[in-house]
Structure 1
Amino acid sequence: MGLTTAFTEMFGVEYPIALAPMGGSAGGALAGAVSRGGGLGLLGGGGGDEDWLARELPVLVDESAGKPWGIGFLSWAVDVGVVARALEHGPSAMMLSFGDPGPFVEHIRSAGAVLIIQVTDLEEARRAVDLGADVIVAQGTESGGHGARHGRSTLPFVPVVVDLATPTPVLAAGGIADGRGVAAALALGAEGALVGTRFHATPEALLAPETARAIVAGRGEDTERNSVLDIARSSRWPTKYTARTLGHPYLDGWRGREDELATAPHAQQAYQDAVVRGEIPALPQWASEAIDLINDLPSAADLVGTLAAQAEAALSRAGRR
């Protein structure tokens, strides 16, 4: 049984698996390894820090070994100039998430890159269709990192977006950490899966070793969607989006007191001071509900093939039933 889908045919990749462009983790080595392994590696461009991009893009180009790759940006945080300069490197795709992708669409089209738009609700999905997205990512609230404050679970959300977007290919995202999740995405009508937290736990990820170990040791109930850590670290994330993270001392101290925290500069300074002293991680430990399924730290290239093999096995079992 092969895993040929509209997504694999669009990019000429072996497997219907894409790396979520996770800021602070999906650098050039990780994205390149995913592409080299047969998926689509997406660099986590975030808000478009040009020094970071200048460092990681050459690594990605080298590590991808001529395979297709792309870049992901936060629509609310990046400007047109950064997107245009990133396109000069010739990515196969550019993914936009969280915010209005409209200002960037023509730049991406004119560069010949595939336009991928991630959506977290039906309003965003309709907007993506209207803009003519080539691929739409439907992100469920189980996902690690940022997502909709009042999002919907992956299982019911993905098929609704598939029905809305047809014939545009959809990728499922949120809580997919093994091949069974990839198989489930295909069964829901998606053309593949966008996988994030599972790739945190690889040696290529730009992640503190203690965070990778915490993900391997963690459980889904250890995660929590919150805005506390964005407020504490003075992040400018729009209030529409919260982040799923592992437990954190500031969550315990400020849960339910977000408005108070937002007007308490001394508490935000205390957070930064604690980071400097090494008492708390430099970044929140973003993790999805699926971390129970993560129990090792394989190479990212090998992991792509493993996920695909697991997905084929799951689909074969389902077919026999």
Structure 2
Amino acid sequence: MMVVMALSTAFTKYFGVRHPIVLAPMGGSAGGALAAAVSRGGGLGMLGGGTGDREWLARELPIVAEGAGKAWGIGFQSWAIDVETVELALEHSPRAVMLSFGDPGPFAERVRRAGTALIIQVTDLEEARRAVDVGADVIVAQGAESGGHGARRGRSTLPFVPVVVDLVAPVPVLAAGGIADGRGVAAVLALGAAGALLGTRFQATTEALVAPSVAEAIIEGRGEDTERSRVLDIARGSRWPAQYTARTLGHPFLDRWRGREAELAADPRAKQDYQEGVARGEIPALPVWAGEAVDLINDLPSAADLVGTIAAQAEEALARAGRH
């Protein structure tokens, strides 16, 4: 039986969790079962509230609230929600609310007034300063290697994390972007982070709300096949602000329209072709959001077991580094 030591950090102490491992609140795919499993495994499960779809939240919030048994949280895209969305989430007593992509200011005071921890994800130093100003309890420094949405001109995780750590001290920092195993967790702990936030790795788990084809694509995917683009957001008619691009695996529409975003945005027929392709099953219903560390993912475990495995890998990596 594998014995996992606890890596104690400012983050684990603050939330009373065993491991400095956090589920990225991936909109839609980080549902209640996945978030609850990560929390049961000793990490912090974060429900992917995304744009605040009321029907989705009504279904998934009770699942995590009843199934986690320990601390859990929920994340939203700041550009897409209103205060009422945050109020709905707070009714279920999450331990944390995470805000990403946009100004957290309109929601920060309401979260703090509830006695709930405020986590803010940042993609540049201006956002990091703003997060401190509005009273973030924890700041997530997201590097450009991350899957899904991030800053168009984002910084790489390795140099970005320690700069944020120094800038916002003593606020604990979580590192995100290109982390898919315990070696990545160990690396960001060495950079001064208090923990790591993982997304793509947790999409390939038995509890994730993704189609089997998506999990298979992640397991088979390679980091060199991922790229950042706005093409698929434009084609889907997504309201994502232009300053945020999305890292995905390859896609036929991306191949067709790469570098022609303005032309695509002005061509209603092209967007109709996309929808018709989806309806015919020729185009995947959703892009496969995946980060550069996707090469390291080769199995489909339970998320609760995965947390312990990653923590053990991190312990081993740190011990190995200490022997050199």
TM, length-normalised to structure 1: 0.99
Give deviations 1:125-178, integer Å, cap 9, x for gaps.
110011110000000000000001000100000000000010000000000000
What is the CA-CA distance between 1:10 and the residue it aligns to?
A: 0.5
Distance 1:232 1:212 in 2: 23
Which residue does 1:23 correspond to in 2?
Answer: 27
Alignment of 1:1-321 (within 5 A): 2-64=6-68, 66-321=69-324
Q: Secondary structure at the match of 1:76?
A: helix
Q: Runs of 5+ in structure 1 lacking a partner?
A: none
Task: Tell me the secondary structure at the aligned position of residue 277 of structure 2.
Answer: helix
Q: Deviations over 1:107-132 (max 9, x none)?
A: 10111110000000111011001111
Give the distance between the partners of 2:49 and 2:216, measured in 1 at CA: 24
SS in 1 for 2:233: helix
Q: Distance between the aligned counterparts of 1:100 and 1:269, measured in 2?
A: 32
The CA deviation string for residues 82-115 of structure 1, in whole angstroms up to 9 with x for no partner, is 1112111100000000000000011101111100
Instruction: Write out the 4+ residue segments of structure 1 that deviate beyond 4 Å after TM superposition.
Output: none
Aligned residues: 320
| 2:127 alignment partner AA | E
Tell me the amino acid that sits aligned with residue 195 of structure 1: L
- Give me the CA root mean square deviation: 0.7
- After TM superposition, give the deviation of residue 62 of structure 1 in Å: 2.3
What TM-score results when the alignment is normalised by the length of structure 2?
0.98
Tell me how far apart the structure 2 counterparts of residues 161 and 191 of structure 1 sit (CA, whole Å). 12
Q: What per-residue deviation string (whole Å, max 9, x for no partner) do you get for residues 33-76 of structure 1?
A: 00000000000000100100000011112221x20000000000
Separation in 1 of the partners of 2:272 and 2:188?
A: 42
Q: Which amino acid aligns with 2:195?
A: G
Q: Where does structure 2 lack aligned partners over 5 or more consecutive residues?
A: none
Letter in 1 for 2:180: A
SS of 2:144's equivalent in the other structure is: coil
- State whether residues 78 and 101 of structure 2, in contact with CA within 8 Å, keep that contact through their aligned partners in structure 1: yes
Retained in 1: the 8 A contact 2:62–2:92? no
